Each structure stands twice: as C-alpha cells, then as structure tokens.
Structure 1
Amino acid sequence: MDERIDVSHPARWWHRLEDGRLQCDLCPRDCKLHEGQRGLCFVRAREGDAMVLTTHGRSSGFCIDPIEKKPLNHFLPGSSVFSFGTAGCNLACKFCQNWDISKSREMDRLMDAASPERIAQAAQETACASVAFTYNDPVIFAEYAMDAADACHARGVQTVAVTAGYMHAAPRREFYAKMDAANVDLKGFSEAFYFQQTGAHLAPVLDTLQFIVHDTGCWLEITTLLIPGHNDSDAELDAMTRWIAEHLGREVPLHFTAFHPDYKLTEVPATPLATLQRARRIALANGLAHVYTGNVHDREGGATTCTGCGELLIERDWHAVTRYELDAQGACPHCGTALAGRFGAAAGHFGRRRIPVRMAMR
C-alpha cells in the first residue's frame, strides 16, 4: 500500500483576488494570503499561485473511543469509533479544552502519518463501526476527512464529524454529503459570546445546523459547553433551546457538558453539576426530547427515554451502555414508537475504554 504523505496537498475552495492575494473560501474567515502566508487555522497555506493543505495524511494521534465520548448517544450506541485529528483550528476559543492540539503551531508534533485508505483499513481491522474526525476541527482538514470518508464507505465503515460547524455553504454541501453523523458545538447563543470568546460569529453555525437537519441524511447531535458566568444564564439557555425546538426539531439530541478551567479561562471555575441539571430542565420544558449532561457522573442526565410512553430505553454509566431496550428496528418495545437516531440490531459493548493506536506504516 502506498503510504507516501504529501505535506502540500492541493487545497480546494479558494480564488484569486484582483490584488494578487488568494482568498480561502472554506470558512467565513475568508483569509486573504500573500505568498508564504497561512490562514488563521495555520494549516491552509499559500504556496506559489495555489493554496495547499499542510496536514493531509498527518495526525496528532489515533485512538479508539466509545461513540458516546464524541458525544453521540443516538448513533450506534455502545460501538467503538476510530478517532483522529490533525492540528490547528479556525476558531480562537479562549476556553478550548484541546488547545494543545487545536492551537498547535508545531507541524513536527504530527508524528503519526496515514493515508485515507490506511485509516479505513485500521478501523475495519479494529472492528470500529465508524471513524471520527475529531480532537481539532475537521473543517480545516476537510480534503483529508472527505478522502478518508470515501475510503471508509468503501469498506462499510461509517463516518463522524465533531466540529464547530463554522463553514461556508459550498464546501459544507460537499463535506456533509460524506458524513453519516455529526456532533456540532453550539458554543453559546449570543453574537457577543461568539465574537468575544471564539473570534467567530453565531449565524454561520446556525446555518450549518439547519442545513444538516433539513438538507442532508447526516445524523445530528449538538453539544454546548456551559461556562459559568459566560453562556449559562437562564435567558440564553431558554432562547437557545426554543430556537433548537423551532428550527431543528424536538428530537435532535442536545448535550450540556461541564467546563474545566483551561487555556485562557483558567480563572473561571468548573461547571457545577447543578448548572447542567438546570440547563437540562430548561431544555426539557421547551420541548426538547433528548437532553443529556456530560463530563459529569449523572445517571439521569445520561438516560434515553421513549417519547411515546416515557419508558427508559437506554441507560448509561459515563460512556458505557448499561441497559438497552430498543428492538431490532430501533423502536420502543413497549409502545412501538421509533427512537430518533441511527441504531443497529443491538447495542455494542465497547464500554468506557480508550485505546491509543500507533499506526503501522505498510
């Protein structure tokens, strides 16, 4: 198998400006580059008269995770997912929980290398049901993720994007056509929060969420990291969950996860469990059917119930599925109501393990 890694892979979605600069058309940052410059993401660069992706085939590491860790609770529960990321990011979140990867400017830290075909092969050999593009945002390595998705689908392996959803419409159409599931970080629900804390804007993310639900076959779940004093007010949570119910539908799962002090917000305290539970109550009161708590131990906040009869269908302990009541068609055995999501004939039994993988070059 050919494992040569092209560190200057041709990039897509750019055009030349009248002043000679090249504009990246991948995300709303619209970075405009002179010769030798890189975009804010740091991995998309100008070389001569073209743009290149410098991380195609290069990763910050590979790991086998439970799918619930992404988090995805309605996509092949209990299964294992082959996870990897690269380096860089197109947002500038002050609260980044993976800042050592997403803010990396050291390309030599990308010690693991693998072609898209090798990734698909490794996922199949390790009995992973899916491959996740995660740890940093796959939007910025879209060409690599899309090539890997094609290779995965050729082997019957599904694909997952864990992303902030900050992407222009044209590449978004091509990207999500190759994804089976996505967890999108909705980082807050105010333009002020997005601009001040992430250096980005809210509207493009809302556009991505609506596009996934209404224009693709990709399964969507949403995560919001609740940061004390920044995006956890009753008013903001009420507005956000009302918007989700109205524009996306009440059965899109929503995960509220706990912040821990990191990167540039080390002075902010960790999120109390009570805050997550309060947010969950607000979301449920606004009609959302599947609301979860994460990064904490909360059996009630990890449970999935039937929207028809209210019976407990899936019980979780952290990332392990401890009870699974769905029938082979993914429906409630008590009343026959179908559970929204993508389910196999039975739950997997991968549990809470996390297995680092060193890719062997072949």
Structure 2
Amino acid sequence: MPSIKAYGATSATDPLVPLTIERREVGPRDIQIEIKYSGICHSDLHTVRGEWGDRPYPLVPGHEIAGIVTAVGSEVTKHAVGDRVGVGCMVNSCRECVNCRRGQEQYCLGETVFTYGSVDRDGTITQGGYATHVVTDEAFVVRIPQGLPLDAAAPLLCAGITTYSPLRRFGAGPGKKVAVVGLGGLGHLGVKLAHAMGAEVTVLSQSLKKLDDGKKLGADRFYATSDPATFEQLAGEFDIVLNTVSAKLDLDAYLSLVASGGTMVSVGAPPEPLALNAFSLISMGRNYAGSMIGGIAETQEMLDFCGEHGVTAEIELIPADQINAAYERMLASDVRYRFVIDTATLG
C-alpha cells in the first residue's frame, strides 16, 4: 500500500504535526479501511505525552475509527468492499488464552495489541486513526449499523463500549437505579446507554452547570457532588455507580451511595492510587470493580444496541489542523462531549 497522510506526535513534548506513514499490504485476512472519522479520546493525549509509559515515536494516535472498506484479503469472510465499519482500541491478541477464547480480547493473557503504539504480531508498530487509511485483521473490525452516522458513531468504539460493558455486566435495566459520576466524553454516553437500557439514571457531577444537558441526555435526576448533602440524601440508593472520571475521588463517600449488594465500577483511570476503607464494602456487602472496554463480540453487540435505540455520541467535528487546540480544550473540559476529526482534512 502506498504511503498515507496522518497526524501524529514526534515526541512527548512537541505538538502533533502532519506525517506520512506506511501501512502494511493487505494480507489474506486483512481489511483496508478508508477512515472517514476518528474520535479523540483523553487517553490519546495521555499516551502521546508519555504519561502512560514510553511509546515509540513517531506515534499516530486514534482508536475510535469509523470508515468504509476499500479492499479485503482473499480469506476475508466477515466484511466486503463498501461496508461501513469501525476499529476500536485493539487490533490483535494472542487469540489462544482463556480470556481470548471467552471473547475478552481486551484482557488477553498473552498480549493485547492496541491500535497504536503496540508491537503487532508481525513485528510492526501499530499506528492509529488520525490518518486516511488503516489495514486491520478482519477479526478486530466491527460493523456500524446503517442508522448510525459515521461521525457520531466513531466515539462508540471506545467511549461507548467502555460504558456499555460494565452497565451490561452489572445488570443495568428496568427497575435498577444507576448513578453516573461525571458528565464528560464517557459519562454522557453512560447516561444515554443506561437510559436506553431502561434504568433510572442519576448524574453525579461536581456542579449543576450541566444539569440541562444531563436531562436532555436521559438523566432522571442530577446532583452536585460539591454539596455534602448529596451524599446524605442518596446514601445506599444505587444498584450501580459508574465512575467515569479520572480524578482522585473519596471512594468511601461514593461507596456509601451503593445499595446493599450493589456495585461501584470505575472506568476512569486516575494517575495515582486511591484508598478505601474495607468496611465501606464489608458493612453492606458492596462490590467495587473495574472495567476496560469490551471484547470484539460485545463491541458489535453495543453497536447493534445503539443502532436499535439511536444512541450516538454528542460531537464537535474538527479539521486536522485543530487537533492540538482540541487537546488543550479537552484538558480544560471545554468540549461537549467528544471531538471527532474529519480525516478528509488531512488532504
């Protein structure tokens, strides 16, 4: 395949710049995708700035990829040229360990190959979706339903599955009360998905400034966590507390909101360890869990669910030359609720 245009980092400290990168030739089980849109995830910023460990540069981020199939290998059976498809956070795994066999490739005991900054099984370094094309094994490509616009569907490949998976795992649905902590890129989809599942949804945000947004997204109630009365009023109320923020939280305070036998699950990744009192769990038989994206089958299930219920991300579409500005705005929480790159602007 010829060289393609991309946007990426050349170091942990310099701004992202236009790049030319190579993609591998389409192998027997590969799919070539013309990328139409690529979402910007907060983890992109952490990774390119070296905050989550060393990565090889140049590095093209992006793991919320939506596009059109333009070529398929001779052994491909799942997809055909012209299909609307997506690629999420991973592009390979060992496929042999117990977790891979269970459809939980994200927890591969061999080595999950992430969409960028990982060593693929052929020895190449993966490069992500801030680019015009990508070549990916068909096993890690999912179908985007016709009813979902590609630009607003792109963030579902990370933010969508990150919130869908724990909501499904812990039984969000009719008769259940779900609290979503934080109303950002992850949280806004957590609210939409929990609402679509039939749960009663409460947003727990630092202030009430996004109250109107929360109600429009499907929240039944909205409380400010800066008000100590919130924790008194809502004590022991929720079957599921979905924590989407990456900030340091008082876990004991938030666990006090969980009903007996209920679960608080964290999908945000704070940079420092969090402490909790064991009695916050023991005294009411509560659970505290973590979750990371979902397997490929569950990601397809999530997309199909979103297609059936009309769930998409709230996005701001930007050209490639605004990526660095978008990173700064993301740090300032100045986005409602996900930036998506129009890759046609890579030129």
* TM-score normalised per structure 2: 0.29
Task: For CA contacts below 8 A with separation 6 or more, give which structure has more relative contact order.
Answer: 2
Q: TM-score when scaled to structure 1?
A: 0.28
